[in-house]
Amino acid sequence: MNSFLNQQVLVLNRLWQAVNVCTVKRALTLLFQGHAQVVLNDNDGSFQTYSFHEWRDFSQQEPNSESIRTVSLRIRIPRVIMLLVFDRQLRKEVKFTRHNIFERDRNTCQYCGRAFDRTGLNLDHVIPRDRGGPTTWENIVCSCIACNTRKANCTPPEAGMHLIRKPKRPKWRPFVQIKLGMTCHESWKHFIDVAYWNVELGEEVG
């Protein structure tokens, strides 16, 4: 039972945005106190919310191996909860991550202006690193493979290219960062991005 209670639950705010991760024990406490509801993904792709009493009744009707038994009831382990009394976002600096750069640039090459799947985009230093170009919001842009190859180790003017917009630090806040190595439940996938996209970028970026 203790192993279940220490497992992790994704926490959403009232805007359905991921803001934290807590233990099952904490999630059940919030649920019992009426401070949160369980979020469950139905088979048709929609989401249902359950109060403590509704989740308790649902647990009896839909038995599951991931359940906690007490003397008087059995209750399923919630995997995602939504807070009812907390809708602010933590005031933090926007994380400098792959995901957030792709979000800022809308999966669009900043040289040719075409949108691509993320597998077809690279992160490019506008001023090349060996020319002193820093790995910062203001010097990193999305670039398609063709434009990246054309630009090579040149500045945009040297390559006869120009940026469709000047790169800058975004003012919005991304979803909660999920640490590498953290086991994410399948039900989290709608609310978070793959951990790779949320790794802080360093000098390894090409």
pLDDT tens by residue, 80-113: 999 997 655 545 567 888 988 998 999 999 999 9
Q: Which of 57, 89, 84, 87 is nearest to 73 (CA)?
A: 57
180: how many CB neighbours lie within 10 A of its CB? 9
**pLDDT confidence of residue 149:** 96
Q: Please tell me what DSSP assigns to residue 88.
A: P
- Low pLDDT (below 70) residues in the chain: 1-3, 43-44, 63-65, 86-93, 172-184, 192-206
Q: Which domains does the chain have, with CATH numbers?
A: 1-91+174-200 (no CATH), 93-172 (1.10.30.50)
Distance CA 201, CA 139 (A): 13
Structure-token pair, residue 197: 């996209």
The answer to whether the Cα torsion of 44, 50, 56, 57 is positive or negative is negative
Distance CA 56, CA 47 (A): 17
* pTM, full prediction: 0.50
Structure-token pair, residue 51: 């109060």
Region of 115 please: left (phi>0), alpha (psi -120 to 50) or beta.
beta
Give the DSSP H/E element, type plus range, for residue 27: helix 24-32
75: how many CB neighbours lie within 10 A of its CB? 21
